[in-house]
Structure 1
């Protein structure tokens, strides 16, 4: 018997590579569903017709309070290192609201972040 697809949730798109980023001829996107230590992060690379990516728990991205450098290229392509302290707080179990992340994004970029619909594939 096939399982029902996961409920679609609204992830905040907090990192997206600019067009023509040096060394990145394809887009990179980082989106976050904040929920404390159970926060989910979607990483997507490439044009959507052939993109690759995945969903990881925040603890997989954050090691010893900092970014696991395995993911450095994606974060650097998006200029998303600003997000690491927030992810570290979430990985430590702190509750950070969507409003706080939206406010931090707005302060940095002057606009609201986009959202994307994705399921929770961690279960």
Structure 2
């Protein structure tokens, strides 16, 4: 996926807690900027006024081809376990394009994902 000017990257919002979700104390979203082993994931947790989050490399989230269980609560809150095989491919260095992720998201949810701008904060 191409970046935008001034270091901003277009992330795909591929995991999000349902509107008005109950059973989880706050909203969660997961967005992805695919670029092989250097893929970035943004996690956002909480209502906008008290939001917390962070950015990590895909290799922190996927260990030996499986979800690092320290991220299980967020993936479950977002119904995002469907994303793990795609992230595992990225973590192993396979080329998974933004188009492939959009197609998989559309197949699951019936619409394309939203996007968000974010910088690469991992350096």
TM range (shorter): over 0.9
Normalising by the residue count of structure 1, what TM-score does the alignment of the two structures yield? 0.92
Once residues 86 and 107 of structure 1 are traced to their aligned partners in structure 2, the CA distance between those partners, rounded to angstroms, is 14
Tell me which residue corresponds to 1:85: 85
Tell me which residue corresponds to 2:42: 42
1:113 maps onto 2:118 in alignment: no
**Structure 2: unaligned runs, 5 residues or longer:** 1-5
Tell me which residue corresponds to 2:59: 59
Task: Report how many aligned residue pairs link the two structures.
Answer: 118
Once residues 62 and 100 of structure 2 are traced to their aligned partners in structure 1, the CA distance between those partners, rounded to angstroms, is 19
Moved more, 43-52 or 98-107: 43-52
**Structure 1: unaligned runs, 5 residues or longer:** 1-5
Higher helix share: 2
> Cα offset for 1:19?
2.4
Once residues 115 and 33 of structure 2 are traced to their aligned partners in structure 1, the CA distance between those partners, rounded to angstroms, is 10
Moved >6 Å (runs of 4+): none
Normalising by the residue count of structure 2, what TM-score does the alignment of the two structures yield? 0.92
1:73 maps onto 2:85 in alignment: no
Pairing 1:97-112 to 2, within 5 Å after superposition:
97-112=97-112
